[in-house]
Amino acid sequence: MVPNGAGKSTTMKMLTGILVPSGGHINIAGRVPYRQRVEHVRNIGVVFGQRTQLWWDLPTIESFELLRHIYRIPERRWRTNLDTFCQLLDLEPFLETPVRQLSLGQRMRADLAAALLHDPAILFLDEPTIGLDVVARERIRQFLTHINAERGVTIILTTHDLADIARLCQRVVLIDHGRIIYDGALEALRARYGRWRTLVIDLSHEMNGLVVPHAEIVRQEGPRTWLRFDRDVTTARRAHR
Amino acid sequence: MLSLYLRLISARIRAQMQYKISFWLELLGFVLVTGLEFAVVAILFARIPALAGWNIAEVALLYGLTSTAFSLAEMAGRGFDAPFELMMQRGTFDIVLIRPLGSFFQVLASEFQLRRLGRTIQGLAVLGFAFARLDIDWSLARLAVLPISLISGSIIYLALIVIGATLCFWTIKTPEVINVFTFGGETVTSYPLSIYSRPLRIVFLGLVPLGIANYPAALLLLGRSDPHGLPAGLAWAAPLVAALSLCRCPGLLASWRQQVSKLRELNFR
CB atoms within 10 A of CB A205: 6
Is A55 within 8 Å of B101 when comparing Cβ atoms?
A: no
CB within 8 Å of A185: residues ≥ 6 apart: A170, A171, A172
Note the pTM of the prediction, 2 decimals: 0.79
All domains of chain A, ordered by start, with CATH? 8-191 (3.40.50.300), 195-240 (no CATH)
At residue B125, what are phi and psi to the nearest 5 degrees? -65, -45
- Range scoring the smallest mean pLDDT among A20-24, A40-44, A76-80: A20-24
Is B97 within 8 Å of A10 when comparing Cβ atoms?
A: no
Question: In 3D, which of B186, B158, B210 has the Cα closest to residue B38?
Answer: B186
More confident residue, B99 or B206: B99
Domain containing residue B248: 2-266
Residues in A touching B88 (Cβ below 8 Å): none
What is the pLDDT of chain B when averaged over all its residues?
87
Residues in A touching B15 (Cβ below 8 Å): 55-58
The 3-state secondary structure of A97-141 reads CEHHHCCHHHHHHHHHHHHHCCCCCEEEEECCCCCCCHHHHHHHH
Question: In 3D, which of A112, A121, A105 has the Cα closest to residue A144?
Answer: A112
Residues in B touching A98 (Cβ below 8 Å): 18
Q: Give whole-number Cα distances, A30 to A20, A45, A116, A155, in Å.
A: 17, 17, 21, 17
Q: Does A57 touch chain B (CB under 8 A)?
A: yes
List the single residue in A37, A48, A58 with the smallest CB-CB distance to B94: A48
The number of distinct structural domains making up chain B is 1
Q: pLDDT tens digit string along A152-211? A: 999 998 887 878 888 888 888 887 777 788 888 888 877 777 777 788 888 888 877 778
Question: In 3D, which of A66, A155, A156 has the Cα closest to residue A117?
Answer: A66
At residue A156, what are phi and psi to the nearest 5 degrees? -120, 120
Count of residues making up chain A: 241
Cβ pair B49, B57 in contact under 8 A: no
Cβ pair A155, A168 in contact under 8 A: yes
Q: ipTM surpassing 0.90, yes or no?
A: no
Q: Does A20 touch chain B (CB under 8 A)?
A: yes
Residues in A touching B264 (Cβ below 8 Å): 18-20, 34
Q: pLDDT tens digit string along A97-118? A: 999 999 999 999 999 999 999 9
Distance CA B229, CA A128 (A): 68
Q: pLDDT tens digit string along B159-169? A: 888 887 777 66
Q: What percent of chain A has pLDDT over 90?
A: 43
State the average pLDDT over residues B118-143.
Answer: 93
- Rg over alpha carbons for chain A, rounded to the nearest Å, is 23
Exposure letters A142-177 (e unless 16+ CB within 10 A, then b): ebbeebeeeeebebbbbbebeebeeebbeebbebee
Most A CBs within 10 Å, among B98, B112, B260, B268, to test the A interface: B98
pLDDT at A15 over 80: yes
Window 208-227 of A, Cβ < 8 Å to B: none
Is A70 within 8 Å of B4 when comparing Cβ atoms?
A: yes
If you count residue pairs, one on A and one on B, with CB atoms under 8 Å apart, how many are there?
65
List the single residue in B18, B101, B264 with the smallest CB-CB distance to A57: B18
Distance CA A12, CA A127 (A): 10
State the average pLDDT over residues A215-241.
Answer: 77
State the average pLDDT over residues B193-200.
Answer: 92
pLDDT at B269 over 60: no
Tell me which long-range contacts A198-207 makes (C-beta under 8 A, separation of at least 24): A198/A226, A198/A227, A198/A228, A199/A226, A199/A227, A199/A228, A199/A229, A199/A236, A199/A239, A199/A240, A200/A224, A200/A225, A200/A226, A200/A227, A201/A225, A201/A227, A201/A240
Per-residue pLDDT at B182? 86
List the single residue in A13, A38, A62 with the smallest CB-CB distance to B100: A38
Most B CBs within 10 Å, among A40, A54, A70, to test the B interface: A70
Distance CA A15, CA B84 (A): 24
Q: pLDDT tens digit string along A115-153? A: 999 999 999 998 888 888 888 888 899 999 999 999 999
Most B CBs within 10 Å, among A20, A32, A35, A96, to test the B interface: A20
Is B91 within 8 Å of A34 when comparing Cβ atoms?
A: no
Q: What percent of chain B has pLDDT over 70?
A: 91
